Structure 1
Amino acid sequence: MVRNEVFRRLTAAALRILAVAAAWLVAGRIGLLQQVVVGGAKVAPLWPPTGIALTCLLILGLRVWPGIAIGTLLVIATIGPVNGASVAIAAGNSLAVVCSCLMLRAVGFRIQLDRLRDGVALVFLGALAGMLISATVGSLALLLVGSLPASGFCATWSAWWVGDAMGVLVVTPLLLALYTFRRPTAIRPYQWAEPPLLVLLTAVVALIGTRSPLHLLFLVFPVLIWAALRYQLMGAAPCVLVVSVVAVRAAVDGVGPFAGHSTLAVMFTLQALNGAAALTALLLSALIAEQRNTYFKIEQACVALAEVVARLAPGEDAHRWPPAGDEEDEEEDRPGGR
């Protein structure tokens, strides 16, 4: 009986590790579709596997970290030979995501991302600080084996770091929003149509901003702000992903505001756009969610106090809280009610 239980646990753990490796492989192959050459090395402006891996560690625990290394080696094997540099890159990727998860845990990060401090922690600890490790180890490994010239180290390192960080900023909030989403108990029919329309509008505005020769990239921000105000992370995260994908495609094609510039200038413009979009949506969503949570707690305290008063002074129901006209809107104002 004990042996069967141990076998089941080991099997479940192995399956989770393989699932993480498979997710990294699939996401890595998708990320490799949009590559640019920076400093003599090919890098992805947006590397989704880091966001997927961090989400897996936050939800499943640190025990699935071998899946990151396995997935990295599988991705490398699909594009070239596996050597010592490949093992170093796999180790760097695993260590970076594990350190990001540990730092987030140390500051009390909550996967609901319903506090401003959670959004700030994900940006500065999960993305910017943690991904320094993968970029440094990967770039040094390529330099030591001769795949990267010394003159291109800084450019490759910065592009690698930003690509990994953007994977966390763009993908992790979306996956966490999907994981923590709870279907509201009361929702009006038009509210089902608004989120898809927001995503569609974001795609149209992003296409206009990234394909027009005019500098219209700023047009995406009003849409992102509206999505964050209306639906917090669940509405803003898909819009950020759409903006990033459309912008990366335009940068690789060299069209719109990315035309006629050097690779470094294009990468700088692209990552400035992606970073600003992700930060705007993530931090604003967290701030709005935190305010709604505070309001909901105050409302609950008022209801509890009103019930106590009603017991102490029967017949005073006319002064109960909340007012009758506000009851039908209570569900949609709760956290996750939209």
Structure 2
Amino acid sequence: MTSVWLHRPSLLHLALFGVTYVLAAGFAQLLAIVPGTGISIWPPSGLFVATLILATPPSWPWWVLAGSLGEFSANVLWFHNPLPVAVLIYTGNALEAMVGAWLVKRTCGRPVRMETVQEVVALIVMGAGAAPIISATMGSATLAWFGMQPFTRAWPLWWIGDATGVLIVAPLALVVFQSWRGDARLSAARWTEAGILGMIFLAVAGLSLSGYLPFAYIIMPPLLWAAVRFEFKGAVITLALLALITAAFTVSGVSQFAGDPESQRHKQIMLQLFLVISAFSALIVAAISRQYQRALLTLRESERQLQQLIDAVPTLIWCATPEGVPCYLNKRAMDVIGATVKDLLAPDGSRSLTIVHPEDRDAAEKAYAHAFETGEPLLWRYRQRRANGPHRWVESRAEALRDETGAIVQWYGVSVDIEDMMKAQEALRERERELSQLVEMVPVHIRRLTPEGNPTFFNKRLLDFFGLDSVSELDKPGLSRLTAAIEALVHPEDAGKLLATVHKAVATGEPFSLKYRMLHADGTYRWVDGRGEAVRDEHGEIVQWYAVSLDIDDQVRSREELSLAQENLAIASRAASLAELSASIAHEVNQPLTAVVANSLACQRWLSAEPPHLEKAQKTLGLIVRAANSATDIVRHTRALFRRTASTRTSTMPASVITEAHNLMAEEAARRRVRVTADVERDLPPVSLDRVQIQQVLINLLRNGMDAVEAITGDRTIGIRMRRLGGVVQTEISDHGPGIEHPEKVFEPFFTTKAHGMGMGLAICRSIVESHGGRLWAEANEPQGAIFIFTLPIEGAPAS
């Protein structure tokens, strides 16, 4: 119920339907020319069927309700049937309308617009043929039941009356309700034609139906004319006019279908058949005309779209007769070349190639003539004139259209602009030329090999190297080109290794690299560095190999000369090392010997005194012995250092080494008026060292400090500081002398800033410290002077 209520039509539409139903019933009453039947044409049936066809099924109950009101009103006004009779008759009418509408919509399968033959046939067969059977059966049975008329007498007239109403009124209603606004307005010519047709139709209808013309069906030509020219609108209007004129003449008694009471029943049947045949013919012809017009419009639309496609496609399309004479150009062709078909024709009617560049015209004419004479497809490239610019390259293709006998009907061709492609190809060719020149001129030997390793290409530089004109000169019967080339062009000592290397690379696909000797055109062998790598396709398959070889003969010879020079340098270096060793020994031994001489002179003075100072002399002799032993130890340890023999190292407390060095230098410091201070951190861990060598380092650094402060006035102080830093013991010897200009250079052998120095002391000290796993370097002291710092690793801890 909710669905029915939601689909309720507007009250205005329901009211209009009811009023029209009543008027249509009144019109039917006017045509009741057979006494006792009440109807000859029943227009409400056509109105009812058309309404339900247009309405949605859920709204049908409302239309049935409105129809019942119209039916009962008409019964009161016109028919005066008992209420049970009126109810039963309307039930048959309503069932007829619903079944007819359902059958028509079911058969068409889409909204009915009366535009196809299928829709017209469905309306005729289902709506006007099958559906009225229900109404005729129920109405005739009702009349027979109530004793008003026999069933067999009433049923034919009832059925034909309803069918006629459906055929005349339903199409009119459908066109008026649905299709009238959709069509374009008529032109003046069409209005004129409609007026002439209307006058002819009215004249023929009046003459034929009034009895002046003996044959009523003479109305068919103008009726069909209206159906053909104006389709359904013309058909339904003329049918409605025909029904009205027929009714008017029949009611007035002047029609061919009016007569005496004995023949009136037969006349009424003939009237109904006349209207049925007229409606059937007009509707079928209108449907055929409409379908033809729609097909014609579809064809024209297809032609328009095809023409738009041909004009829009970015190519020049042309047609020619079987003799090759141009007969069509698409719009783009005319716009591009600035010419029409007439411009492509010579005065004698033959083809003219004026749009072709003069340099290409003769060749193009021969190509066209050959194609048109032989019927073979045409393919030719030439330069074509443009309407707004210079000639451009195009590619023309044409093929012949043949009939079923193989005769040529027409030629169809296209001309595609290939100017950009031609420029790209020219650029590609230029690029290929540049690449070829690059390959030929690059100072590298380039070769191309097959996937099996056989050479197929040598660049010009490689051919000139071998003295060959072509790689094919290497071919030998029974040998692959690779084997023949290696045997002929590679040094015998390198040939086997090169062949094995290439075979391995071919088998594995891995790059290869090898240095070998190749035979030059002058008969000499030259060293080359050869490398090769495979080129693969998108599937990883090897397509070919490319290999290069670079002449390295000059580099090889240069390396040989360099090797010889290095050997000579090594001999000179060993001689220099021997001199350096001698100088270092002399430098280190010179210091204790100087002490021996000085102490000997002192001892001599103590013994020459009166009386002799034996105690002091004895003490001085002890110093002489110690200095002599020190010289012996220096010689022994220096020899061990330079011979890289193992030195004697023991676990030693570093503070004791400082104390011994300080005591050894105490007298010299006092003599040179230099004060030596020591700052040694407590509980320093033991260090593995050679006591004599580390003392030698300390003494050298202290003596250098004394030399630095000798020229200054004031306090001459040398500081010694020893402390632990991480895994090392660091010792610092500082002075306030003039400082060092080149802190790193002073450690180089034979570099000295002293007038009589040898430049070996600091070099030897660094060698000793580094042999212990430590470091020795120099820094600037603040505010002036220098600091020499060295580190020694603590036992069991890594040096930092």
TM-score w.r.t. structure 1 length? Answer: 0.83
Aligned to 1:304: 305
Aligned to 2:90: 90
Find the aligned partners of 2:185 and 2:53 in 1 and give their Cα distance.
Answer: 30
Aligned to 1:36: 33
AA matched with 2:32: Q
Which among 19, 22, 25 is matched to residue 25 of structure 1? 22
Aligned to 1:165: 163
* 1:18-37 CA distance string (max 9 Å, x none): 33222211221222122122
Deviation at 1:85, TM superposition (A): 1.3
More strand by percentage: 2
Find the aligned partners of 1:233 and 1:224 in 2 and give their Cα distance.
Answer: 11
Partner secondary structure for residue 236 of structure 2? helix
Aligned to 2:106: 106
Deviation at 1:254, TM superposition (A): 3.6
Find the aligned partners of 1:139 and 1:11 in 2 and give their Cα distance.
Answer: 33
Find the aligned partners of 1:229 and 1:101 in 2 and give their Cα distance.
Answer: 27
Find the aligned partners of 2:276 and 2:21 in 1 and give their Cα distance.
Answer: 22
Which among 44, 52, 59 is matched to residue 47 of structure 2? 52
Find the aligned partners of 1:187 and 1:71 in 2 and give their Cα distance.
Answer: 36
Is this contact kept in 1: 2:39–2:161, CA < 8 A? yes
Aligned to 2:581: none
AA matched with 2:28: G
Is this contact kept in 2: 1:213–1:255, CA < 8 A? no
Deviation at 1:72, TM superposition (A): 1.3
* 1:80-113 CA distance string (max 9 Å, x none): 1542111111111101011000000111165321
1:207 maps onto 2:206 in alignment: yes
Is this contact kept in 1: 2:28–2:41, CA < 8 A? yes
The 3 A distance-change label for structure 1 pair 278 and 110 is farther
Find the aligned partners of 1:185 and 1:37 in 2 and give their Cα distance.
Answer: 44
Deviation at 1:15, TM superposition (A): 4.4
Q: How does 1:5-16 map to 2 (within 5 A)?
A: 12-16=9-13
Aligned to 1:136: 137
Is this contact kept in 2: 1:18–1:67, CA < 8 A? yes
The 3 A distance-change label for structure 1 pair 206 and 304 is same
Q: How does 1:230-309 map to 2 (within 5 A)?
A: 230-260=229-259, 262-309=263-310
Deviation at 1:193, TM superposition (A): 3.3
Partner secondary structure for residue 191 of structure 2? helix
Find the aligned partners of 1:10 and 1:297 in 2 and give their Cα distance.
Answer: 36
Identity of aligned residues (%): 23
Aligned to 1:116: 117
Find the aligned partners of 1:266 and 1:184 in 2 and give their Cα distance.
Answer: 39
AA matched with 1:37: V
The 3 A distance-change label for structure 1 pair 42 and 287 is same
Is this contact kept in 2: 1:95–1:134, CA < 8 A? yes
* 1:126-177 CA distance string (max 9 Å, x none): 11111111111111111111222x3xx2232111111111111111112222
Find the aligned partners of 1:252 and 1:132 in 2 and give their Cα distance.
Answer: 27
Is this contact kept in 1: 2:163–2:276, CA < 8 A? no
Q: How does 1:322-337 map to 2 (within 5 A)?
A: none
AA matched with 1:26: L
Query: 242-251 vs 266-275, which deviates more?
Result: 242-251
Is this contact kept in 2: 1:27–1:49, CA < 8 A? yes
* 1:18-73 CA distance string (max 9 Å, x none): 332222112212221221225xx233222211111122112233422222222212
Query: 293-302 vs 263-272, which deviates more?
Result: 293-302
Q: How does 1:58-73 map to 2 (within 5 A)?
A: 58-62=53-57, 63=60, 64-73=63-72
Which among 138, 142, 156 is matched to residue 154 of structure 2? 156
Deviation at 1:195, TM superposition (A): 2.3
AA matched with 2:254: V
Is this contact kept in 1: 2:310–2:330, CA < 8 A? no
Find the aligned partners of 2:9 and 2:284 in 1 and give their Cα distance.
Answer: 36
Query: 246-255 vs 99-108, which deviates more?
Result: 246-255
- With CA pairs under 8 Å and 6+ residues apart, which has the higher RCO, 1 or 2? 1
Aligned to 1:78: 77
Aligned to 2:580: none
Contiguous gaps of at least 5 residues in structure 1 = 1-5, 321-338
Deviation at 1:221, TM superposition (A): 0.5
Is this contact kept in 2: 1:103–1:126, CA < 8 A? yes
Is this contact kept in 1: 2:89–2:139, CA < 8 A? yes
Find the aligned partners of 2:10 and 2:258 in 1 and give their Cα distance.
Answer: 48
